[in-house]
Amino acid sequence: MKKITKVLIANRGEIACRILRTLTRLSIPGVVVYHPSDADSPAVRMAAEALEINGSTPVAAYLDTDQVIRACKETGSDAVHPGFGFLAENPGFARRLGEEGITFVGPLPETIELMGNKVAARAFCIRNGIPLASSVTEGDADGEFPERARELGLPLLIKAAAGGGGKGMHIVREMADLAQAIQLAKGEALRAFGSDEVYAERYLEQPRHIEVQVLADHHGNVLHLGERECSIQRRFQKIIEESPAPDLSPNLRGRICAAAVEIARKANYRNAGTVEFMLGPDGEFYFLEMNTRLQVEHPVTEMVTGLDLVELQIRVARGENLPLTQQQVQSNGHAIELRLYAEDPEEDFLPSTGTLLAYRMPAGESVRVENGFAEGMTVSSAFDPMLAKVIVHGVDRRQAIHRGLTALKDTLVLGVVANVDYLARILSHPAYMAGHIHTGFIPKYRKDLRPPMLDEEKRNLLLAAAALSSREFTDPAFDVPEPYTFMGDWRN
C-alpha cells in the first residue's frame, strides 16, 4: 500500500477542475501547476496550492518534466495525476516519477510503452489473437512500405504510430495520392509526437467507433465499465459520445467488452484505460488502439454507472483492490457528452480565438458540466479549442437527447465562435435520433447540418439589434447636435 497525501495535477482546464473535485471529496489536497496564461483560470482558483511554470510556449511549460517534478518536491506532493494529453501517456515521465519516489496515477511505464505505440500495440494483438484490420508497417522487412500498402487495396488510412487525436491521419482513395499522404502523415506525426513512424491499414467505410472503459488493480483484478459510442467525429476527433452504444446486440456488446478485458489482462494493465475498436457494417469489430489514461469522455461512463473514475484511479494507485466485481457493475439509463469547442463549423471547424465576453453554462436535472473557463478569460491558439463538456443523463436515449437539446439552448458563448448550435443540429437530426450513426456521419449530412437560412423579417430584426448595440451607429443618430449641446437649458 502506498500513502497518497497530496496530489499534483500535471494538467490544466476542465480536467484539472474535475480531478480537484474528487480530491476535495476525498480530503486530499490538490496542487496545480500553471502557465501564466492560465493564472486566472478556475483550476488555479480551486486548488489548495498553485505553482507557476514557464516554457518557450505554454504547451512546452506543461510538458517540462523537470519543472513538474520540482513542483512536487516544493509542495510535498507524493503523487501526480496527469489527466489527459500533455504527459499522460509519456512512459519516461511515469518512470522518472517512480525513481523520485512519487506515485504516478496511471499504468506502469512498460504498459504505456507497449500500448502507446500503435505499431507495437498491433503486434501485441496479433500475438494474442485480437482481431485487427489488415495493415502494414514501415518496419515490415519484405518490401518497401508504399508497395506493401498498395497491396492492401483502397481505400487506405495512413496513421501515425506514436499518437492519436486525429493528427497524422490521411485517407487515401486514389493510389496516385499515396506517396503524398505518407509524407504529410510523417511530417504531422513528427511535429505532434516527436516520431515520424507511420503505418497503413485498410480503411473501413462508415464504421462505428466503439470503446470500452477498463479498470485493473495490482492484484490481478480486471473489469470493464461498459462501452461508449464515439462515432460522431470531425477531422478524426470526437465531438459527441454516449453510453451505452445504441443498437448493439447483447452478444456483440459482450464480445467487444470481453476482448477489451482480455487485452488489458494480457498487457498487465493497471489503473484506468480505454480500449478502442472499429465496428464494421458487417458486425465484425477490430482493435484500433488503447489509451493508457483517463479519457475526455469518461463522464458518460460515470453518469450511467454512478462510479467516480478518478477516485478509482487513486485507490488503484494506492495499491487497493478494486472495490467491486464485474457482476456488481450496473449501467442505468443513457448518457450523452457534448464537447463545446471554440471553432467555426462553417469554416471547416477552424479554431476561434478571443475574449469570452459572455459565458454561461447550463444547469438542471441530470445535467453535468465540466468546464475550465470563466467569463473574461482569453481563448488562445496555444491549446486545444475545447471550452467545456456538457453531459446529460436520461432514463433512455430519447430523454437524454431531449435534455441535451435543452442544455444547449441554455448555453451562451459570446466573444468567440462556438459549435453550440452545430451540436444541437446533430442531436436533432433524424438519423442521429434513430441511432444510425457512424464515423462518416458529419461528411454524409454536411448539407443538413448547415445553419438554416434566415427569413427577411428575422434578418432585419437581427441587423437592427446589432446596429442599436453599436456606439458608431447610436451616437450620430441620437446625440444632440451642435450648437445645441452648448446652449444649456433654455426656454423660448
* CA separation for the pair 318, 315 (Å, rounded): 5
The active-site residue, picked from 293, 339, 368, 403, is 293
Helix axes 471-478, 456-468, angle to 10 degrees: 80
Cell of 44: 488555479
Which residues touch 357 (CB under 8 Å, ≥6 apart)? 375, 414, 415
User: Which residue has cell 511549460?
Assistant: 61
* CA separation for the pair 226, 304 (Å, rounded): 9
Asked if residues 378 and 354 have their Cβ atoms less than 8 Å apart, the reply is yes
Asked if residues 369 and 426 have their Cβ atoms less than 8 Å apart, the reply is no
Q: How far is CA 238 from CA 186, 296, 340, 423, 429, in A?
A: 22, 9, 11, 12, 17
Residue 293 annotated among the catalytic residues of the structure:
yes
- Give the residue from 42, 37, 43 showing the smallest Cα distance to 9: 43
User: Which residue has cell 512536487?
Assistant: 72
Quote the distance between the C-alpha of residue 59 and its chain's center.
17
Q: DSSP letters of 292-310?
A: -S--TTHHHHHHHH---HH
How many residues appear in the chain?
A: 492
Secondary structure letter of residue 351 according to DSSP = E
Q: Give the amino acid at 452.
A: P
3-class SS of residue 51 = strand
What does residue 149 show for φ and ψ, rounded to 5 degrees? Answer: -65, -40
Catalytic residues: 293
